[in-house]
Copies of this chain bind each other. A is one copy, B any other.
Amino acid sequence: MRLDPRHLEILAAIVDAGGLTEGAAKLGKSQPSVSRSIAFLEERVGQQLFEPRRRPLRPTELCLSLAAEGRKILDAGRAASALVQTFKSGEAGTVRVAGTPIFMDGVISGVIAEFQADHPNIRIDQSYAYIDEALEKLKQDQLDLAILPVRPGALPAEFEFRQILKGCNVIACRVDHPLTQHAEMTARDVIDYAWIAPPANSPLFQDMRALLESIGQRELKIGFTGGSLSAVLNVLAGSDSLTILPYSVVVTLQRRNQVASLPIEIGDPGRHLGIIINRSRSLHQAAIRFESFVGERIKGMSRSMASD
């Protein structure tokens, strides 16, 4: 026999309230409505739920058992409402975000850590992707947002780009690197050292090539290539190698004394770090929160970089 869960809810409310009238009030319904619902349930069940001819309504044993189930239903309903609330407020949910390995590991991961402290019920699904892959995933709704260095104007109109940091690369080395002792330095000084090349399909790789061309160099000694940021840092720390890294990453790492940077001017790469979203899809609240949080943090970071 199938019972209407709403009837069980009503039963629970009445039993808990200790009376039909109060129970009805608690449910925001009229007393007759509740009375009839119970009559219905009683008929369906085929058993007395309240002792007849008793004016302070006295529940039957079966009634009490059923009310216990009704209470579970009420609780589940309340939990469901709460769930909806938190999801709608953006305090729960999953944000799918992707970006270049260097940025994600060097800058964004720290921001994510801060974000999660504030919003423990929002889950961040982070993955790595370069621009083409990221746009494809955004288009297919496999991604909520991408954080990438992008050349403004190079983006199809279906995507929106919100710049959060001006692009700027620097040459990085280990903290006690010999070059850090030099008072003055020219681009020529760096070509004698082994280099760590970013992944060949990354924008940084193109930036490195541009840098080399600007100092009239075609080839460099490449000692290591293809790794993640932490691999790069390990190699950097254990050798005299140099590499090119976004300034923002270097700033973050310098605070932890993990790298040093060389005071060599590198031309503006023409790319700027920003958040990309798919215009045709509206972000859900959790993603909106994350997006603005990242924006704020990175802007704060860039202010402190400017004041360095």
Do the beta carbons of B88 and A65 come within 8 Å of each other? no
Do the beta carbons of A66 and B47 come within 8 Å of each other? no
- A221, CB-defined interface residue at 8 Å: no
User: Which of A2, A51, A77 has the most CB atoms of chain B within a 10 A radius of its CB?
Assistant: A77
A-side interface mostly? helix
Do the beta carbons of A8 and B80 come within 8 Å of each other? yes
Instruction: Determine how close the nearest CB of chain B comes to the CB of A61; give it in whole angstroms.
Output: 6
User: Which of A6, A45, A69, A75 has the most CB atoms of chain B within a 10 A radius of its CB?
Assistant: A69
Q: How far is the CA of A80 from the CA of B3 in the complex (A)?
A: 8
Contact flags A68-94 to B (C-beta < 8 A → 1, else 0): 011011011101110111011000011
A94 proximity list for chain B (CB < 8 A): 61
Residue of B nearest to A81 (CB): B1
Do the beta carbons of A4 and B6 come within 8 Å of each other? yes
Copies of this polypeptide in the complex: 2
Contact flags A52-67 to B (C-beta < 8 A → 1, else 0): 0000000001100110
A72 proximity list for chain B (CB < 8 A): 72-73, 75-76
| Residues of chain A whose beta carbon lies under 8 Å from any beta carbon of chain B | 1-6, 8-9, 45-47, 51, 61-62, 65-66, 69-70, 72-73, 75-77, 79-81, 83-85, 87-88, 93-94, 141, 284
Apart from A1-B81, A72-B75, A73-B73, list 11 A-B contacts with CB within 8 A: A2-B77, A3-B77, A46-B88, A47-B87, A47-B284, A61-B93, A62-B93, A72-B72, A72-B73, A72-B76, A73-B76
